[in-house]
């Protein structure tokens, strides 16, 4: 049977099922095939925090959304064109996001009376015409998988576990995805259990063959590769990119990298990734708690290493005292905060931007530090290098604010050549710096950066006092002198303020230069904001966009940019934290748009908000 092939410019697919159905793995493998094919893509994994949430219930639904296209895209998409629902809970939890006419591939085997009752269905929605607005494709995924694996020495339960690979095979056929990558992955993943590898491969191939032969799908779809700038590309998540950025920073600074960390969602993958790269001289230490992790990292910095600690919001709270110690000892330290929904334990697997004020002020005393925020998953690589540059050059702890959306999401990344990376090497103090030629002054400052010398412990003649009690200017001796304390507080602040002259000015995208509304953002809101701005401009609207990477200090021209527009709209996944800071500093009436749902903004949502602001002019 010859089937029609339809060309599409983009597709949004969402895989949804129980936490144990392997939806994250299925989505990840489909993403890998899509990246290999050459499409631009963006992903949104979404899963419960519980290790195994109650099976068949709404709280237990795990999903993975992938947006891929033949052109440049910025977000995982607002609404899926295709939903793969492995059970009634997955259907009910995601149906509200489906636009009319979208495809639903439903695993009919799981629509049992018991599973329907768990989520409040009196009758199966597959049979009562309640899904008439959508294109329903009922497929007995579980039983087809079991039948395909009849020749394997597997129990029925073990065979059923491969139904996600059957679904992956079906979708790979439906969208012409390459199969070799998935087959090789399964062979590698189950290398020690070749029987399981063969069974999963058989299920995957059975799904492909089902799509090819069944009459349920008379059309398959093709999305051509995107025209991306030349280079070597790979698909990368934010946590992977951040880990690679830290490795690159270690190489470019010529400093050994030490990570002191305690596992916490959603930052743990950085620890996992760095632990695989010992060949680069990376040392990873899984500490017994958050405080020990940052203490070890600061100790490594004192000893001449590039000290890093990774965590999320609750861990930042615990690390605060030691970060303050890093401020007063003026040692380079990178603190990575992969933000998640709070307060307290909150929603560990959901995203937010709610730690900005804690990063700014969440320590006792006047303890300023630079804050850097990446804007996309791949940008986490560059942001990590920038954080290391500032930490080493200015002898200061630096807070890097990623978040769950960036950490778990992925996109194509052009792998840079080593010549493209900045040289951020530094020199350790090697000789006395006092006027007499024999005295070492540990707090004598570089006149340009106000950074103090970095002396490796044990260097002859450079012995000096270290600790949290206030230091005397220059000598570093303990001092309770009021005027000295005032001077040291102002020097530490001036050092951070001076970084504004060492970072790029705030760039504004205003094509015609006559927009009256500016949309400002920071961190992971970049994609939805940029996509929304594109929509407004395509409709003939005029709007400018700017995005902040450096949040402390702000770029030197920030105030000038804000005052150049009649209205400034600032969407944040918090209750207006950056807006509060900008209003206080620049006396500009920022228009806040705030949603705190544990999810990224949708481009359509922001486009409506932007249009409302434009119309109110």
pLDDT per position as a tens digit, 588-609: 999 999 999 999 999 999 999 9
Query: Of 606, 547, 256, which is closest to residue 379 (Cα–Cα)?
Result: 547
Reported confidence tier of residue 379, pLDDT bands at 50, 70, 90: very high
Q: What percent of the chain has pLDDT over 90?
A: 97
**In this predicted structure, what is the pLDDT of residue 218?**
87
pLDDT exceeds cutoff 90 at 20? no
pLDDT per position as a tens digit, 279-301: 999 999 999 999 999 999 999 99
Reported confidence tier of residue 24, pLDDT bands at 50, 70, 90: very high
Reported confidence tier of residue 465, pLDDT bands at 50, 70, 90: confident
Q: Is 24 helix (H, G, I), strand (E, B) or coil?
A: helix
Query: Of 604, 499, 505, which is closest to residue 553 (Cα–Cα)?
Result: 499
Per-residue burial over 280-297, b = 16 or more CB atoms within 10 Å of its CB, e = otherwise: eebebbebeebbbbbbbb
* DSSP characters over 52-112: TPPTTSGGGEEEEEEEEESS---SS-SS-SEEEESSHHHHHHHGGGPPTT-EEEEEGGG--
pLDDT per position as a tens digit, 172-212: 999 999 999 999 999 999 999 999 999 999 999 999 999 99
Reported confidence tier of residue 358, pLDDT bands at 50, 70, 90: very high
Pair of tokens at residue 275: 């632990």
Mean of the per-residue pLDDT values of the chain: 96
CB atoms within 10 A of CB 503: 18
Q: How far apart are CA 88 and CA 93, in angstroms?
A: 8
Q: What percent of the chain has pLDDT over 70?
A: 100
The dihedral region occupied by 523, where left means phi > 0, alpha psi between -120 and 50, and beta the remainder, is: left
**In this predicted structure, what is the pLDDT of residue 51?**
75
**In this predicted structure, what is the pLDDT of residue 244?**
98
**In this predicted structure, what is the pLDDT of residue 1?**
59
Reported confidence tier of residue 324, pLDDT bands at 50, 70, 90: very high
Q: How far apart are CA 68 and CA 226, in angstroms?
A: 9
Q: What is the 3-state secondary structure (H, E, C) of 473-493?
A: CECCCECCCHHHHHHHHHHHH
Q: What is the 3-state secondary structure (H, E, C) of 260-319?
A: EECCCCCCHHHHHHHCCCHHHCCEEEECCCHHHHHHHHHHHHHCCCEEEEEECHHHHHHH
pLDDT exceeds cutoff 70 at 353? yes
DSSP 8-state assignment for residue 388: H
- Comparing 52-61, 132-141, 201-210, which segment has the lowest mean pLDDT? 52-61
Q: How far apart are CA 522 and CA 543, in angstroms?
A: 17
pLDDT exceeds cutoff 70 at 380? yes
pLDDT exceeds cutoff 80 at 2? no
pLDDT exceeds cutoff 70 at 214? yes
């Amino acid at each position: 049977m010859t089937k029609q092939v339809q060309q599409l410019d983009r597709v949004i697919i969402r895989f949804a099922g129980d936490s144990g159905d392997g939806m994250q793995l299925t989505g990840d493998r489909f993403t890998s095939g899509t990246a290999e094919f050459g499409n631009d893509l963006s992903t949104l994994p979404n899963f419960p925090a519980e290790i195994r949430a109650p099976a068949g219930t709404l709280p237990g639904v795990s999903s993975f959304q992938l947006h891929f296209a033949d052109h440049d895209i910025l977000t995982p998409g607002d609404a899926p064109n295709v939903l793969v629902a492995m059970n009634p809970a997955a259907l009910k939890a995601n149906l509200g996001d489906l636009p009319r006419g979208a495809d639903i591939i439903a695993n009919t085997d799981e629509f049992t009376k018991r599973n329907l009752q768990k989520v409040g269905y009196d009758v199966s929605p597959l049979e009562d015409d309640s899904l008439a607005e959508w294109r329903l494709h009922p497929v007995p995924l579980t039983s087809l998988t079991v039948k395909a694996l009849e020749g394997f020495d597997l129990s029925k339960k073990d065979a059923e576990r491969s139904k996600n690979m059957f679904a992956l095979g079906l979708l790979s056929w439906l969208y012409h995805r390459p199969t070799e990558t998935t087959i090789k992955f399964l062979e590698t993943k189950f290398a020690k259990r070749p029987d399981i590898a063969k069974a999963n491969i058989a299920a995957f191939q059975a799904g492909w063959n089902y799509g090819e032969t069944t009459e349920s799908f008379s059309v398959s779809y093709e999305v051509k590769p995107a025209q991306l700038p030349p280079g070597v590309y790979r698909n990368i998540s934010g946590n992977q990119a951040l880990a690679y950025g830290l490795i690159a920073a270690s190489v470019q600074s010529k400093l050994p990298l030490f990570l002191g960390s305690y596992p916490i969602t959603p930052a743990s993958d950085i620890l996992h990734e760095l632990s695989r790269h010992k060949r680069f001289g990376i040392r990873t230490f899984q500490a017994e708690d958050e405080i020990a992790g940052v203490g070890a990292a600061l100790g490594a910095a004192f000893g001449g290493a590039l000290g890093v600690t990774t965590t999320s919001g609750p861990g930042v709270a615990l690390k605060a005292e030691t970060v303050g110690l890093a401020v007063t000892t003026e040692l380079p330290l990178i603190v990575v905060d992969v933000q998640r929904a709070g307060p307290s334990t909150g929603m560990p697997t959901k995203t937010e931007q709610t730690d900005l004020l804690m990063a700014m002020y969440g320590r006792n005393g006047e303890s300023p530090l630079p804050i850097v925020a990446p804007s996309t998953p791949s940008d986490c690589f560059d942001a990590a290098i920038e954080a290391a540059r500032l930490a080493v050059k200015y002898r200061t702890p630096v807070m890097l604010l990623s978040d769950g959306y960036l950490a778990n999401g992925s996109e194509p990344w052009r792998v840079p050549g080593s010549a493209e990376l900045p040289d951020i090497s530094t020199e350790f103090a090697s000789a006395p710096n006092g006027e007499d030629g024999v005295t070492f002054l540990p707090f004598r400052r570089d006149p340009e950066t106000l950074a103090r010398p970095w002396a490796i412990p044990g260097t002859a003649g450079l012995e000096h006092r270290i600790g949290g009690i206030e230091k005397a200017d220059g000598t570093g001796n303990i001092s309770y002198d009021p005027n000295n304390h005032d001077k040291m507080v102002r020097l530490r602040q001036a050092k951070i303020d001076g970084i504004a002259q060492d970072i790029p000015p705030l760039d504004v995208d205003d094509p015609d230069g006559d927009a009256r509304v500016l949309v400002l953002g920071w961190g992971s809101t970049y994609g939805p904001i940029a996509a929304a701005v594109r929509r407004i401009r395509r409709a003939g609207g005029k709007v400018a966009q700017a995005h902040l990477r450096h949040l402390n200090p702000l770029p030197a021209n920030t105030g000038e940019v804000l005052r150049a527009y009649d209205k400034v709209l600032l969407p944040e996944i918090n209750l207006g934290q950056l807006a509060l800071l900008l209003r206080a500093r620049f006396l500009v009436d920022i228009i806040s748009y705030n949603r705190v749902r544990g999810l990224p903004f949708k481009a359509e949502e922001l486009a409506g908000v932007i249009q409302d602001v434009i119309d109110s002019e």
